[in-house]
Amino acid sequence: IEWLAPEFEYHHKDRRWFALVVFTAIVVGLLALWQQNFLFFIFTVIAAIMILVWGKERPRTVQCELDNKGLRVGKIFYNYDNFSGFALKPG
């Protein structure tokens, strides 16, 4: 069995979501500077940038294949022995 599927479930994010991320990063960053924790400040800036970039990312479509040996998602193969269970989610 072969099919195409998105890499992850995408949820649209409006400007308010991005503004909330920036606002939260500013508050946490100011708190870090107030406590003179410069390493945490740098971490906060990097984390906020990563969240903003990843928040814009749309999923790519991957090819999935199910056969008698296991599951292939893109170029990665998962043997049935590695699974402890599964679930079906209605589309």
**Euclidean distance between CA atoms 24 and 16, whole angstroms:** 12
Alpha carbon 4 to chain centroid distance?
19
Which pLDDT belongs to residue 64? 92
Both tokens of residue 15?
């400007």
Q: Judge whether residue 88 has pLDDT over 90.
A: no
Mean pLDDT to the nearest integer, 42-50: 97
Entry pTM: 0.69
Whether the CB-CB separation of 88 and 50 falls below 8 Å is answered with no
Report the half-sphere exposure of 25 (CA within 13 A, side-chain side).
17
